[in-house]
Structure 1
């Protein structure tokens, strides 16, 4: 470990606590560079501490943030981005932040997500999750371009004692930075159940009839696959499997009271770094081929398929219209290209721009969600249909999930290719874009393919 004078943090704690009245509280955040550590080892070390864990990794960018515990959280019963931003800004204004690095992803970082549709009644499936939550972990590992940083966050009040807080933080830090290797354990599936497949296909048919009557152009419908396992699912093993099998995706996990929302999403919603904005359109899906020739043939067909091109263009136009008010120098290619994953390939179009002064990533997320790739077009008509007829509580599935830091950097993905792990059970989610000439059987097959990234690492 690279040595940093620990008394700096201890001295800061003492000064802050001495200045606080008993009724006052404040967040203190301290960042230092440490020796390289495997993010999965850090994540696994948090298990024995019985703390909620968070995980985010973009292997393409060689970037990861891993959180252990909860120093402070901002949560609501409704996913109100304006309210989240106001609470986040208030927290930062009052926080004491010691971060000598100007590295995106260091300093005070919040990780979290929200419901796809907070207006739809919640079911017991998502009881442990708020409609929206941003968590500032007690300990945060940041790995960027090979360098590792550790941030300790503590929320204190005037009644706290310096010695007890500092000793506890140092003891937990030692455990987190001295993890033990563990054997990989692939879970054994006892039962695999499609949830209401006939009703789902009938809903697809109803959606096509609705669109034939001119009430919408596209409606995205999702469904659930439920799994029972022989033993409790080990989250670190699932993350390891996703990193190995989905290397071009965002690998994420959010643990809450024993449940964990986890996945590997290929779809970025928005990234902001040093005011440079990047969003991506990822809509239109086909499987990978068994050979290079077959793969190229399927890709060519996808690039020229009318239904998929229309679905993709819905997303492109919506993103353009949504973010042009926030950006200067907007750049959008004329045609999509192929984005290839291990199991699937998608139509892909990047959107770039310069974020205007006065706007933040919160503004963009609020305007973009839900994209036509997860909701439909027109938005309100599609959401109204989903709210009334879809036989699924999506919870955080299909909604923005990501991170923000105290220097206005951040990134959110669309939380697809995901599932909710609950001990020795799991619910996997997948959806597809339905248009007026969609075939229910074909759409069912498409969602089955989209289950594969999660199903494969879970032993299916």
Structure 2
């Protein structure tokens, strides 16, 4: 290990002295044929004295990535944020020294030079205090990156070392080797007891609380809560604009702030994240804000774009929702009703057509099924259409992300009219909510998801309890009912509440509050 790292750092140092600019040395090492991929990160945190900066797990057995430390940062501002980070990453990759050592397979998805992070939903909207200090695009190349290419496949360790013209090679190599060995030892200790990334099954019987109709933790009687009244008023404004012909659909988001009653343990949060539904993409990003230390966490069912070898592209059109049933028979009936619902079908077709239109100039081929299928999650089921294509030469994953965002599923239709309406009427700064979150590597592989079913956690610089802001949204069309949309959004918020509860962040007081609100229905 140390010899391979030393060779890469020495070469990078020579290049840095020649160019007068920093150079990244990136080494990929194989670790084992199979290791568990869940909350062993707890032991890794203790061994390294730091927390993961990045946790990203693709749905349905795709790559899982866990990154520690920061070797390089990529940031951008404004509407050109996608192009800026694409250009800067390309320049970084062109100058980097990359070595695949000890029989590692060069170009395995998610190994080597990998940038992971998130984009802001709308850079033209004023920034709320909760997102202050966070760029419109924020990506990191971790110092240490563990990659599970597949649940039953090999595990790789990538060591990234930034090298400046004046870097002491011996010191840099010793530090990187020490950190890498500590991480490997932590994994070996955790190996016998830690879970995998496989999560729970995507289908099966839904939680009994899902019920026949939309139910949720924070539904309250109509007219009795100021937040409900404000939501209903905004939904009414959206319906009015749609009926007047200003737009066809707008996706209205809301947030809910929770003060955690349990102690914060990042290791327990990672364990809870690992156990989420395997058909969802799970992510965690650590970042600093003007308010203190923060974490962005979620389990999204919506793939925005996934690419292999720089050409094979996969995306998903996701729109149209229904609750899960309390019994298999009821669940099946609710699913069939969703498939037959004209309103939900129309909403879904807008997303499919928007994806088709956005990909047309980028893709050499495009395969779109004629009708959607059901995607079943623990508390909700969606209409889902998987779409595959092959990119044209010279096009990249970031080009696709820029073209697709925001889809009608999270913004509205037509896109620009919906965004203008949201800037005027939506009463929150979404920040990273409903925006692209994911990773891509120097070999042209990558995955981006739409950051729904997500929450922002933070702790003030002065200490105190962890607080969380949970986000959810609903697609509003001409016949939307304000009460039903509130209940649907509350049901979507339940996914993040459940995650926080599993992480030990919601204690007795919070559960009593939830119970009181449900009893008020």
Q: TM-score, length-normalised on structure 1?
A: 0.93
Give the SS at the match of 1:178.
Answer: helix
Match for residue 330 of structure 1 among 352, 361, 366: 366
Residue 152 of structure 1 corresponds to which residue in structure 2?
Answer: 159
2:314 and 2:387 in contact (8 A); partners too:
yes
1:272 matched to 2:299:
no
Task: Give how far 1:195 is off.
Answer: 8.7
Residue 198 of structure 1 corresponds to which residue in structure 2?
Answer: 229
Using the alignment, how far apart are the partners of 1:130 and 1:281 within structure 2? 28
Match for residue 448 of structure 1 among 477, 486, 490: 490
1:138 matched to 2:143:
yes
Residue 246 of structure 1 corresponds to which residue in structure 2?
Answer: 277
Residue 68 of structure 2 corresponds to which residue in structure 1?
Answer: 68
Residue 259 of structure 1 corresponds to which residue in structure 2?
Answer: 294
Using the alignment, how far apart are the partners of 1:16 and 1:272 within structure 2? 29
Give the SS at the match of 2:427.
Answer: coil
1:54 and 1:67 in contact (8 A); partners too:
yes
Using the alignment, how far apart are the partners of 1:297 and 1:19 within structure 2? 64
- Shift in CA distance, 21/195, structure 1 to aligned 2, threshold 3 Å: farther
Using the alignment, how far apart are the partners of 1:365 and 1:43 within structure 2? 30
Q: Which runs of 5+ in 1 are unaligned?
A: 185-190
- The residue correspondences of 1:27-426 to structure 2 (distance < 5 A) are 27-35=24-32, 36-41=34-39, 43-44=41-42, 45-46=44-45, 49-50=49-50, 53-79=53-79, 80-99=81-100, 100-101=104-105, 102-145=107-150, 146-179=153-186, 196-257=227-288, 258-274=293-309, 275-423=311-459, 424-426=466-468
Using the alignment, how far apart are the partners of 2:172 and 2:40 within structure 1? 21
Task: Give how far 1:60 is off.
Answer: 1.0
Give the SS at the match of 2:66.
Answer: strand
Give the SS at the match of 2:185.
Answer: coil
Using the alignment, how far apart are the partners of 1:19 and 1:247 within structure 2? 43
Using the alignment, how far apart are the partners of 1:158 and 1:227 within structure 2? 47
Deviations 1:311-341 (A, max 9, x none): 1111001001110221123111111111111
Using the alignment, how far apart are the partners of 1:229 and 1:364 within structure 2? 38
Query: Which has the higher mean CA deviation after the structures are superposed, 372-381 or 140-149?
Result: 140-149
Q: Which runs of 5+ in 2 are unaligned?
A: 196-216, 220-224, 460-465, 502-510, 512-521
Using the alignment, how far apart are the partners of 2:328 and 2:15 within structure 1? 67
Deviations 1:182-236 (A, max 9, x none): 999xxxxxx9899933212211110101111110100100001111112443233
Using the alignment, how far apart are the partners of 2:264 and 2:423 within structure 1? 31
Query: Which has the higher mean CA deviation after the structures are superposed, 242-251 or 436-445?
Result: 242-251
Using the alignment, how far apart are the partners of 1:443 and 1:161 within structure 2? 59
1:222 and 1:430 in contact (8 A); partners too:
yes
Using the alignment, how far apart are the partners of 2:407 and 2:155 within structure 1? 34
Deviations 1:108-161 (A, max 9, x none): 111011110010011111125221012111111010132100001111112111
Query: Which has the higher mean CA deviation after the structures are superposed, 71-80 or 351-360?
Result: 71-80
- Shift in CA distance, 169/218, structure 1 to aligned 2, threshold 3 Å: same
1:239 and 1:251 in contact (8 A); partners too:
no
- Shift in CA distance, 197/236, structure 1 to aligned 2, threshold 3 Å: farther
Task: Give how far 1:14 is off.
Answer: 2.3
Give the SS at the match of 1:290.
Answer: coil
2:67 and 2:142 in contact (8 A); partners too:
yes
2:12 and 2:96 in contact (8 A); partners too:
no
Task: Give how far 1:19 is off.
Answer: 4.7
Using the alignment, how far apart are the partners of 2:41 and 2:469 within structure 1? 22
Give the SS at the match of 2:447.
Answer: strand
Match for residue 8 of structure 1 among 1, 4, 7: 4
Using the alignment, how far apart are the partners of 1:178 and 1:297 within structure 2? 51
- Shift in CA distance, 104/375, structure 1 to aligned 2, threshold 3 Å: same
- Shift in CA distance, 368/195, structure 1 to aligned 2, threshold 3 Å: farther
Using the alignment, how far apart are the partners of 2:235 and 2:110 within structure 1? 41
Question: Higher strand share goes to which structure?
Answer: 1
1:332 and 1:350 in contact (8 A); partners too:
yes
Give the SS at the match of 1:27.
Answer: strand
Using the alignment, how far apart are the partners of 2:166 and 2:421 within structure 1? 52
Using the alignment, how far apart are the partners of 2:163 and 2:140 within structure 1? 16
Residue 432 of structure 1 corresponds to which residue in structure 2?
Answer: 474
Query: Which has the higher mean CA deviation after the structures are superposed, 233-242 or 191-200?
Result: 191-200
